[in-house]
Structure 1
Amino acid sequence: MELEVKTLEGGAAGSITVSDEIFGLEPRTDLIHRVVRWQLAKRQVGSHKTLGRSEVTGSTKKFVRQKGSGGARHGNKKAPQFRGGGRAFGPVVRDHGHELPKKVRALGLKHVLSAKAKAESLIIVEDAKAAEAKTKALKSQFSKLGLSSALIIDGAELDQNFALASRNIPHVDVLPVQGINVYDVMRANTLVLTKAAVSALEERFK
């Protein structure tokens, strides 16, 4: 599969041949959905907590006699049906994460890359480097490429000036190739890969 390579100024910089097994698949939304759901569940904090009957403050004294009151028989006021009592079956601190096979995770990433390529929302650039850490200069370069919401993936090491300059631009994220993930790719309108990132991805899935 042949893709055009651009410079950060929007000019042509030749072309690159990419693997059809990574960028040329017919996208499966079910796989992508499974991986996104796994990612979001894994990062959910799960610190929600309510106090149960044994945890609320209050007396355990029997507050009404067993018989003769004309009402129901009760032990203490910490029971869930009373105001100030414990919550019955309330949420507890727990981990929301679940297992997902490595092969499914890898396949999900391949399919999301193919989805971006099919939707023509994938741009290959020669490199992601900036001469100086100036946000204004980088914004003008992004406007030439037509980027408003983008995820930029570079090689193993990010250019420091480029990372600093892009940090203040809204809806633009820059990650090294190790950090590429399905959720962030889906969240951005455009995926921008450097030639180094493409090489690293093809090596990873070999």
Structure 2
Amino acid sequence: MKVAVLDITGKDTGRKVELSSEVFEIEPNNHAIYLDVKQHLANKRQGTHKSKERAEISGSTRKIKKQKGTGTARAGSIKSGVFRGGGRMFGPRPKDYSFKLNKNLKRLARKSALSVQAKDNNLVVVENFDFDTVKTKNFVNVLKALGLENKKSLFVLAESNNNVYLSSRNLKSSKVLNSSQLSTYGILNANKIVFTEGSLEGVESNFNK
């Protein structure tokens, strides 16, 4: 699969790069994608939800009415969950929602996600670029040149670049990662994925192990 290489002004450089068919043109495995996205979202959950149970409520311990003769159900404590202000019965407790997946499945899921985006023509390749200073306007100009100003975009760099990353940080619709940080959720959540030329080698080597 060949893709034209653009510069950061959006102009065609006249060159093309060959994308690995083993990464960008496989038959997508939907179940692997589902599991990897599910893990990503589950691992982000704090799991700190908690409600007070009967033993944790402050209140009198006296028996609130006599055992027999009232014609109603027995009641031994005002802290019971059946009374207003009492503890919650079977309420939520702190829980760790994270779970593990093996590396081969995660690799398959990410290749499947890239193949889905490639099939939908959502991949863009640009020349390697850098900024002299940290300035959001610089990154906005790149987005405008590539026609991504109002779209969710994911920029994949060959390695961490502080100036580019910090210039994009205030823009909610754009995210900058290096090739080793790609996730299935991040790939599918973007309308367009912009790879720098240098990042392609890292992506293909990481996913072809």
User: TM-score normalized by structure 2?
Assistant: 0.91
2:60 maps to what in 1? 59
Identity %: 35
- Cα 1:72–1:168 change in 2 (3 A) is closer
Deviations 1:37-59 (A, max 9, x none): 11001110011110111111112
Amino acid at match of 1:192: V
Q: 141-150 vs 116-125, which deviates more?
A: 141-150
Q: 26-35 vs 12-21, which deviates more?
A: 26-35
Aligned partner (choices 182, 185, 195) of residue 183 of structure 1: 185
Equivalent runs, 1:1-206 vs 2, <5 Å: 1-13=1-13, 14-148=15-149, 149-158=152-161, 160-206=162-208
Q: Distance in 2 between matches of 1:5 and 1:136?
A: 23
Deviations 1:86-133 (A, max 9, x none): 111100011111232222111111011111111101011121312333
Amino acid at match of 2:25: G
Q: Distance in 2 between matches of 1:140 and 1:114?
A: 28
Gaps of 5+ in 1: none
Once the two structures are TM-superposed, the CA of residue 30 in structure 1 deviates from its matched residue by: 2.9
User: TM-score normalized by structure 1?
Assistant: 0.92
CA RMSD, Structure 1 to Structure 2 (Å): 1.6
Across the two proteins, how many residue pairs are aligned to each other? 205
Q: Distance in 2 between matches of 1:33 and 1:10?
A: 34
Residue aligned with 1:199, SS: helix
Q: Distance in 2 between matches of 1:49 and 1:62?
A: 27
Gaps of 5+ in 2: none
Once the two structures are TM-superposed, the CA of residue 85 in structure 1 deviates from its matched residue by: 0.9
